Amino acid sequence: MTKLLNNRYEIRGILGRGGMGCVYKVADRKAKGRILAAKELRSDGLSPAKAQEALAQFRTEARILTRLDHPNLPKVHDYFSANNRHYIIMDQVKGATLASILSRRPGQPVDEQIALSWALQICRAMQFLAVQKPPVVFRDLKPGNIMIDKNNKVKLIDFGIARFFKDEKEGDTYVYGTPGYAAPEQYGTGQTDIRSDIFSLGATLHHCLTCRDPSLHPLDFPDPRKLNPALNKGTAKIVMKALEQDMPRRYQTALDMKQAVQSVLMNIESLPKGVNSVIHAQAGKPITIPWWKRTSWVRVPVVALGCNGTTGTLSSSDRWLHPKPGAFNPGASQLLFRVDGSKLRMGREYRPRITVHTDAGILRPQLLIKRPWPWMLIDAGLIAAAVAGILMMR
């Protein structure tokens, strides 16, 4: 007999089990059998007080997620209670948790660029949560609550202990978080805010880049370069700033940390073979191509193209502009273009026709590219002509 939840969701299998319930694979009969996930809360065996607390956490997760829409967060479609059990219906998040990825590579640090690309996406999600009204604090950021798919796209999962931040509170009602990843203030000494999530991200990054499990050494984080000397100094600086014991000394916003990560990524991202230098596009300024170069390479931040946090492809109908490569993943901080300057006239401005196909839709970003006149040569020529004229007059 087929089991239905809420007379709508047909259970097709079990995606996972926990101490307080299961996550089921379900088909939505009202949406042509669309496959979703149903997260179940069971309070069997808990005291009345604990059962009430667990239910409150569960409802908090549902209330938070139903009003949020972000590429790095699971989309919640429905929530309800039935037969003393409680359910959230959400998109099925495919991939593997970061915890399982780390467990499969003991003693082998995650590639620095990949780890930073994950951090970049998490910062975007945390910044999104922080600007909600009221702001949302995740409070249990750790590898087990980070899902990564085959395209390196990150989603934060399990909002069961997230809460709305209230300025007037001096401390949290309950002590939440996971030892090793939880910030010092989460051990009952103060109120959590976005800086607590930043600490947890720093602990997660430290684990990825050094293979040192912080749950075995809570609040003890040596300089990551002592454990992994190959790390970029900028990366180590980001990790240690996020892990400052005192909240005022950490990054104060997720945006601050995101910008720091982007800056380091731009310096360590590899260039195609044979490319020695690139032009970095700057917001609000035209991209100036050197007049003497036949071919130039231009790096454009993904934010300027409107495709941050997404997966997609780029193309252009202009024969002088070539995206390299033509595809990108959610961790990309910038995208690369090859410009055939020999096909552009000097003194002209160009607005290339770029199409970006992403999992969030089709975009057509606007760039302004210039190939200037060789004024130095022109000035030198004019001076030489003037000198020659003077000599001839003598």
Non-local (6+) Cβ contacts of 247 within 8 A are: 183, 185, 190, 193, 195, 196
Least confident of 40-44, 212-216, 283-287, 378-382: 378-382
Tokens of 320: 């002088």
- Give the model's pLDDT for residue 216: 93
What local confidence, expressed as pLDDT, does residue 116 receive?
Answer: 93
**What would the two tokens of residue 229 be?**
């000397």
The answer to whether the beta carbons of residues 88 and 58 sit under 8 Å apart is yes
Q: Average pLDDT of 259-265? A: 89
Domain with CATH 2.60.40 in the chain: 279-371
pLDDT in tens, 48-97: 887 787 778 778 777 877 888 888 988 889 988 887 788 989 898 889 99
The pLDDT tens digits of the residues spanning 147-160 come to 998 888 899 987 65
pLDDT confidence of residue 167:
45
Does residue 343 or residue 134 have the better pLDDT?
Answer: 343
Q: Quote the CA–CA distance of 223 and 308 in Å, as a whole number.
A: 30
Q: Residue 380: its pLDDT value, please? A: 53
Specify the domain boundaries for CATH 3.30.200.20 within the chain: 4-91
Name residue 361's beta-bridge partners: 358
CATH classification for the domain delimited by 279-371, as one of 3.30.450, 3.30.200, 3.40.50, 2.60.40: 2.60.40
User: Is it the case that residue 170 has pLDDT exceeding 50?
Assistant: no
Round to whole Å and give the CA distance between 83 and 81: 7
Which of 9-23, 69-83, 109-123, 189-203 shows the lowest per-residue confidence on average (mean pLDDT)?
9-23
Residues of the chain with CATH 1.10.510.10: 96-268
The predicted pLDDT at position 188 comes to 67
Look at 111-125, 168-182, 197-211 and tell me which has the smallest mean pLDDT.
Answer: 168-182
Say if residues 49 and 61 touch (Cβ distance below 8 Å).
no
Does 305 have pLDDT greater than 90?
no
More confident residue, 1 or 29: 29
Q: Contact at 8 Å (CB) between 267 and 205? A: no
Mean pLDDT of 361-390: 69
Order of strands, edge to edge, in the sheet holding 287-288?
Answer: 287-288, 369-371, 348-350
* Cβ–Cβ < 8 Å for 36, 91: yes
State percent of the chain over pLDDT 70: 85
pLDDT given for residue 19 in this prediction: 61
CA distance 192 to 250: 13
Compute the average pLDDT of residues 129-158.
Answer: 87
Structural domain 4-91, CATH architecture: 2-Layer Sandwich (3.30)
Rounded Cα gap, residues 337 and 323, in angstroms: 4
Report the distance separating Cα 25 and Cα 14, nearest Å.
6
CA distances from 128 to 96, 131, 308 (A): 23, 6, 13
Count of Cβ atoms closer than 10 Å to residue 266 Cβ: 14
Start-to-end C-alpha separation, the chain = 110
Q: Which of 96, 85, 97, 98 has its CA nearest to residue 11?
A: 85
Sign of CA dihedral 297, 298, 302, 307: negative
**Spatial separation of the C-alpha atoms in residues 102 and 92, rounded to whole Å:** 22
Of the listed ranges 68-72, 74-78, 99-103, 310-314, the one predicted with least confidence: 310-314
Check if the beta carbon of residue 369 is closer than 8 Å to that of residue 289.
Answer: yes
Rg of the chain over CA atoms, in angstroms?
26
* Ranges 13-27, 99-113, 258-272, most confident: 99-113
Average pLDDT over every residue of 129-157:
88
CATH topology assigned to domain 96-268: Transferase(Phosphotransferase); domain 1 (1.10.510)
- Report the C-alpha gap between 328 and 331 in whole angstroms: 8
**Which of the four pLDDT bands, split at 50, 70 and 90, describes residue 374?**
confident
pLDDT of 341 higher than 90: no
Residue with tokens 């995206």: 323
Model's pTM, two decimal places? 0.74
pLDDT at residue 284 is higher than 70: yes
